[in-house]
Each structure stands twice: as structure tokens, then as C-alpha cells.
Amino acid sequence: MKLTRRIAALALAGLLSAPALAVLPNEKLADPAMEARAREISKELRCLVCQNQSIDDSNAELARDLRVLVRERLVAGDSDEQVLAYVHDRYGDFVLLRPPVTGYTAALWFGPALVLLLAGTGTAVYMRNRRRDAEAAPATSRLTPEEEARLQALLAAQDGTGSGEGKRA
């Protein structure tokens, strides 16, 4: 309980302190290509004590340590994937801003496609049924005679006031 409260306090501190300067000049790698890779990797990693900030954006001490770690791994010859795997092994799923595809994140990764599929199918079925019902129903106007009379009166009145704006299709 005490630990969770501590984490909450840290998270709050991370939220409230202005994230003034994240990456500092002395962290940068000499090789611009490798530095660019480090920046891209940093955008995938969460600053663990901040509220939803990547280590690239955060000026927290821990974010700085992680940025240095990422660069050390790159200098040691790791590929981008290896660096991410290295950090993931040590800090768990929480550090990845793009969650891994596993059993419990299935809803996250396949949910959107499933929702789109269901919504799309639902819409298609609804439209087909609507058209079928409409074809089955008598094609004539579904207005009552009184409504029909009122409609004609209104249309006549509108034409009378010279409202010539197109009845587009």
C-alpha cells in the first residue's frame, strides 16, 4: 500500500513538474544516424514515473537513465528490436508505449478491426433489410391525404415566394 502511494506521488510529481528539457546535449551520440535511431526508440518507451510521457519527452531522472541505457545498447551494437527487448525484459510491459501483442492485449490489437468488421456488417445488413422492406411496401406516398394536401399547399406557398434554390436531385 505504501509503495503504491509512493508511485502515485511520483506520478503526480512527474505530471506537475514542467517537462522543460528532455534530451540533454551531453547524452547525444556522436554518430547522427545512431542518435536518430536512439530518438525513435525513446519515443516507444515510457517514462515510468511520469503520466503518459515517453522518455524522449520527459526530464525525469529515471527517463534520463533510460535514454543513456538505450544509447549504451546501441553503441554496443544492438539492433532497434534488441534494445526494446532489453528494456522490456527489465521493466516489463509497462515501459512499452506500444503494448506487446499477447493474450491479454488481444482486445487492444484486434479490437479495432473487430469493431470495424461488426459495425460494417451491421450497417450492410441494416441497409439491405431497409431496401427489401421498402420494395415490399407499396411504392406510393406514405402520406395521409391530409398530409398530402398540406404538402402541396406548402410547396405552392414556397414557389410563390420565389424560392428558386435548386431542388438538387
Q: How far is the CB of 81 from other proteins (least distance, A)?
A: 14
Number of residues that bind other proteins (CB under 8 A): 61
Residue of 76, 125, 143, 149 interacting with other proteins (CB under 8 A): 143
The three three-digit cell numbers of residue 38, written as one number:
536512439
- Verify binding: residue 96, other proteins, rule CB under 8 A: yes
- Verify binding: residue 169, other proteins, rule CB under 8 A: yes
Residue of 75, 101, 115, 149 interacting with other proteins (CB under 8 A): 115
- Verify binding: residue 167, other proteins, rule CB under 8 A: yes
Q: What one-letter code names the amino acid at 38? A: A
For the window 116-135, what string marks contact with other proteins as x by the rule CB under 8 A? x--xx--x---x--xx-xx-
> DSSP 3-state assignment of 96?
strand
Q: Distance between CA 47 and CA 65 in Å, rounded?
A: 10
Q: How far is the CB of 75 from other proteins (least distance, A)?
A: 19
Concatenated DSSP letters for 18-50?
-----S-GGG--SSHHHHHHHHHHHTTBB-TTS
Q: Distance between CA 149 and CA 5 in Å, rounded?
A: 72
